C-alpha cells in the first residue's frame, strides 16, 4: 500500500513540475514577445526610415533568438501584428514573413520557415537578383514576399506541395504579387518553385511555370487569391496604361474582369478570361496589415 502511494506521489510531483515548467516557458516567451512587439511596432510605423531600419535590425536579431528557444514552435507570437504567420494544414511547419520600409521606394523582405520539430530555416530575399524566375530555388534564393495565404495541394507525383500567395512592393511604380510553390525534397530540404502552372490556355502548349508573377501599378489594387467557391485561383485581368508617377513608364492595372487557374490532378490550367463574369466584390484575402494606418496592401 505504501509502495503504491509513493508512486502516486511521484506522478503528482511530475505532473506539477510539468505544469510549472510549461507556465515558466510561457512566461519567458511573453517577456521576449513584449520586447519584440516594441521593435516590430517601430519597424513598421516610425516616421523616419532610419529609425525603422534600426528597429528592424533589433527585431530580426531578437526574433531569431526567440524562435531558436525550446518549444518556440508552439508559441503563437500573437502580439506581433505586422508579422505574417501561416501554418501548413497538418501543422508540420509555419512560415513567418515581414517587410521593412527603408524609404518610399525601397522595401526589404525577411522570413523564416520553422518546422514543427523546431528546426529554423532563414529565408534570404534574392527577388531582385534572380536571373531566371521560372526555376526551382532554395531558401537562400527566396522570392521575398509577405505571404497572405497558404494552401496545400496534392501534386501530380502524389507528393503534397503548398501554394504561397504573397506581395512584394517593388518600387515607386510597381507592386508584384507572387504565387510560389513550396515543397520538400527527399532530404526534407525546402524548395521553392515547381512546374505546376500551364503557361497559356492553349491545351497544345505544354510549357509550365514554376510560379506565377503579377506586376501591376503601385497605385492600383489587384487581387490574387484562391476562391474556394469557384475552386479556382482568381486574379484581376491586367491591361497597360501610362504610369501616374513616371510618365515615361507603362504599368498595368485591373480592367474589371478576371482570369484564373483551375486545378486538375495537381496541375493548374489557365482560364484567360471568365466569360461574362461580373463580381460586385473581389475575392480579397484577409490582409496581414489591415490595421496599419489605413494601408490595405493586398487590395482589400
Under 8 Å between Cβ of 167 and 177: yes
Question: Is there a single domain that holds both residue 224 and residue 255?
Answer: yes
Structural domain includes residue 190: yes
Question: Is there a single domain that holds both residue 91 and residue 26?
Answer: no
Last residue of a domain, one of 23, 51, 79: 79
Domain membership of residue 216 as a residue range? 83-289
In the prediction, which pLDDT does 67 show? Answer: 96
Question: Is there a single domain that holds both residue 69 and residue 114?
Answer: no
Under 8 Å between Cβ of 124 and 142: yes
Q: How far apart are CA 247 and CA 242, in angstroms?
A: 6
Our count of domains for the chain comes to 2
Question: Is there a single domain that holds both residue 35 and residue 158?
Answer: no
Structural domain includes residue 294: no
In the prediction, which pLDDT does 6 show? Answer: 58
Question: Is there a single domain that holds both residue 154 and residue 199?
Answer: yes
Structural domain includes residue 281: yes
Structural domain includes residue 205: yes
- pTM of this structure: 0.84
Start-to-end CA distance of the chain, whole Å, equals 68
Structural domain includes residue 130: yes
Q: How far apart are CA 127 and CA 130, in angstroms?
A: 6
Question: Is there a single domain that holds both residue 151 and residue 47?
Answer: no
Structural domain includes residue 263: yes
**Number of alpha carbons in the 13 Å side-chain half-sphere of residue 107:** 21
In the prediction, which pLDDT does 52 show? Answer: 97
Cell, residue 24:
515558466
Structural domain includes residue 253: yes
3-class DSSP state of 118: coil
Can you spell out the DSSP letters for 148-202? EEEEEEE-TTS-EEEEEEEEE--SSSEEEEEEEEEEE-TT--EEE--S-EESSS-
pLDDT averaged per 10 residues in sequence order, the chain, 300 residues:
50 44 58 92 96 97 95 94 97 98 95 97 97 97 98 93 98 95 96 95 81 96 96 95 76 94 95 66 51 47
Under 8 Å between Cβ of 94 and 50: no
Torsion sign (Cα): 221, 224, 229, 230: positive
Q: How many CB atoms lie within 10 A of CB 241?
A: 13
In the prediction, which pLDDT does 158 show? Answer: 84
Question: Is there a single domain that holds both residue 65 and residue 112?
Answer: no
Under 8 Å between Cβ of 164 and 147: yes
Cell, residue 198:
500551364
Nearest to 209 by CA among 192, 225, 193: 193
Place of cell 531582385: 128
Question: Is there a single domain that holds both residue 136 and residue 250?
Answer: yes
In the prediction, which pLDDT does 40 show? Answer: 95
In the prediction, which pLDDT does 250 show? Answer: 84
Last residue of a domain, one of 24, 46, 79: 79
Residues 6+ apart with CB under 8 A from 132: none
Question: Is there a single domain that holds both residue 2 and residue 104?
Answer: no
Interhelix angle 49-67/2-45, rounded to 10 degrees, is 160
Question: Is there a single domain that holds both residue 166 and residue 245?
Answer: yes
Structural domain includes residue 11: yes
Question: Is there a single domain that holds both residue 31 and residue 108?
Answer: no
3-class DSSP state of 285: coil
Please state the φ and ψ torsions of residue 118, each to the nearest 5 degrees.
100, -15
Question: Is there a single domain that holds both residue 28 and residue 101?
Answer: no
Q: How far apart are CA 40 and CA 207, in angstroms?
A: 42
Place of cell 493586398: 298
Last residue of a domain, one of 58, 79, 100: 79
In the prediction, which pLDDT does 248 show? Answer: 65
Amino acid at each position: 500500500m505504501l509502495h503504491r502511494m509513493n508512486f502516486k506521489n511521484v506522478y503528482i510531483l511530475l505532473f506539477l513540475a510539468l505544469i510549472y515548467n510549461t507556465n515558466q516557458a510561457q512566461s519567458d516567451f511573453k517577456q521576449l514577445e513584449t520586447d519584440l512587439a516594441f521593435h516590430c511596432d517601430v519597424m513598421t510605423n516610425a516616421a523616419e526610415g532610419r529609425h525603422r531600419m534600426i528597429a528592424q535590425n533589433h527585431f530580426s536579431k531578437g526574433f531569431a533568438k526567440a524562435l531558436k528557444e525550446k518549444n518556440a514552435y508552439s508559441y503563437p507570437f500573437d502580439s506581433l501584428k505586422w508579422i505574417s504567420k501561416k501554418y501548413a494544414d497538418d501543422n508540420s511547419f509555419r512560415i513567418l514573413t515581414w517587410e521593412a520600409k527603408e524609404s518610399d521606394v525601397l522595401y526589404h523582405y525577411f522570413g523564416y520557415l520553422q518546422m514543427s520539430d523546431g528546426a529554423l530555416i532563414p529565408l534570404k530575399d534574392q527577388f531582385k537578383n534572380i536571373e531566371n524566375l521560372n526555376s526551382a530555388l532554395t531558401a537562400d534564393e527566396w522570392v521575398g514576399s509577405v505571404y497572405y495565404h497558404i494552401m496545400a495541394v496534392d501534386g501530380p507525383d502524389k507528393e503534397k506541395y503548398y501554394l504561397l500567395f504573397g506581395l512584394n512592393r517593388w518600387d515607386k511604380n510597381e507592386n508584384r504579387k507572387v504565387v510560389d510553390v513550396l515543397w520538400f525534397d527527399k532530404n526534407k530540404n525546402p524548395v521553392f518553385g515547381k512546374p505546376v502552372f500551364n503557361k497559356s490556355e492553349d491545351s497544345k502548349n505544354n510549357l509550365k511555370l514554376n510560379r506565377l508573377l503579377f506586376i501591376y501599378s503601385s497605385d492600383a489594387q489587384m487581387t490574387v487569391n484562391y476562391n474556394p467557391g469557384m475552386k479556382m485561383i482568381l486574379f484581376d485581368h491586367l491591361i497597360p496604361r501610362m504610369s501616374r508617377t513616371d510618365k515615361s513608364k507603362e504599368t498595368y492595372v485591373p480592367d474589371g474582369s478576371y482570369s484564373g487557374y483551375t486545378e486538375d490532378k495537381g496541375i493548374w490550367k489557365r482560364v484567360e478570361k471568365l466569360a461574362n463574369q461580373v463580381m460586385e466584390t473581389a475575392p480579397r484575402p484577409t490582409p496581414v496589415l489591415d490595421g496599419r494606418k489605413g494601408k490595405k496592401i493586398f487590395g482589400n
